[in-house]
Amino acid sequence: MAQIFTVALAQIGSRLGNVEKNLEKHLEHVERARKSGAAFVVFPELSLTGYMLRDLAYEVADDCKKALKSVATASKGIYTILGFVNEPRPGIYQNAAALLYNGKILGVVPKYYLPNYGPFEEKRYFKEAGVKDLKVFNTKYAKLGITICEDVWHPEPCEALARLGADVIFCISSSPIRGFYGAKGKTVGERSWEKILGTRAIENTVYMIFVNKAGAEDEEYFWGGSTIISPDGVEVAKAKHLDEDFVIGEVDLNRLVRVRRFSSFRDHHQDFHNLLRRL
């Protein structure tokens, strides 16, 4: 297993409901990442469809199936992670991520926590995932897990994936601008994301790779800021603020060894989880 590899952060915007046009952009970025020598190329949440779908969520699943096959075929020698609308059963829809490689769909991961506050109303359209959907993928470069946006605002998915063996956790996101600009021109949401990603990396001794949508869509504007955070909480790579971008960052699994020697991650008191389950 390779100890050092690179990841391409494909921080794009998507045309709402236009899977065909969004597919073109995906294929362009997959090819760009392959030419750069990246091991992975990662897109934002619902990158094939756009985020503010509302009732369009019911109309794009078939187009997503066709697009997934096209991106999988294009993903020769490079792992691709993207977001799409999955229809696991007729009339049941999920906000989901797919891992593609060498013409194959290696797996699909639905979103565990569906936000239903502020501008978000995902529970109206999507079915949430459960623990049965937890997957750790054993790739040629690393063991990895995949989360989607709100999942990382709760500690359980990342902890579960890390305990199942993931050394790298990808988080694909469509996080819009929220709150007023403050220190260093960052909104409340952006500052919160930086702290949460660093916390998840340190507490689970994993790399956190965050890819966010950028640009305007419907009445929202997405702030980008995709990043790679090392297991000791250090920012390894950072994409532009507000605009589309394409950034290559390095993942060095040797850092895991050094960090885990001085980490309490090995300690786990089940009694706390038993208590929380009863509350």
- The predicted model gives 234-254 an average pLDDT of 96
d(CA 262, CA 258): 7
Contacts of 216 (CB under 8 A, 6+ apart): 13, 222
So what's the pLDDT on residue 182? 60
So what's the pLDDT on residue 119? 83
Lowest-pLDDT range, 7-16, 86-95, 115-124? 115-124
Residue 157 is encoded by which pair of tokens? 């998915």
The residue annotated as part of the active site, out of 64, 87, 111, 213, is 111
Percent of the chain at pLDDT above 70? 96
- Is pLDDT above 80 for 180? no
Per the annotation, the verdict on 59 as an active-site residue is no
Mean pLDDT across the chain: 94
So what's the pLDDT on residue 221? 93
- The predicted model gives 102-113 an average pLDDT of 98
Nearest CA-CA partner of 82 in 14, 167, 182: 14
So what's the pLDDT on residue 1? 63
The residue annotated as part of the active site, out of 87, 143, 149, 171, is 149
Find the distance separating the first CA and the last CA of the chain, reported in whole Å.
42
Per the annotation, the verdict on 149 as an active-site residue is yes
- The predicted model gives 130-146 an average pLDDT of 97
Q: Which pLDDT band, with edges at 50, 70 and 90, does 181 fall under?
A: low
CB 224 within 8 A of CB 242: yes
- Is pLDDT above 90 for 46? yes
Element housing 188 (H / E): helix 188-204
- 0.75 exceeded by the pTM? yes
Q: Which pLDDT band, with edges at 50, 70 and 90, does 268 fall under?
A: confident
So what's the pLDDT on residue 81? 99
The residue annotated as part of the active site, out of 25, 45, 186, 217, is 45
Domain coordinates in residue numbering, the chain = 4-278
So what's the pLDDT on residue 53? 96
Per the annotation, the verdict on 45 as an active-site residue is yes
Percent of the chain at pLDDT above 90? 84
Q: Compute how many other C-beta atoms are within 10 angstroms of the C-beta atom of residue 83.
A: 30
Domain 4-278 classified CATH 3.60.110.10?
yes
d(CA 71, CA 91): 24
Q: Compute how many other C-beta atoms are within 10 angstroms of the C-beta atom of residue 233.
A: 16
What residue type is assigned to position 225 of the chain?
Answer: G
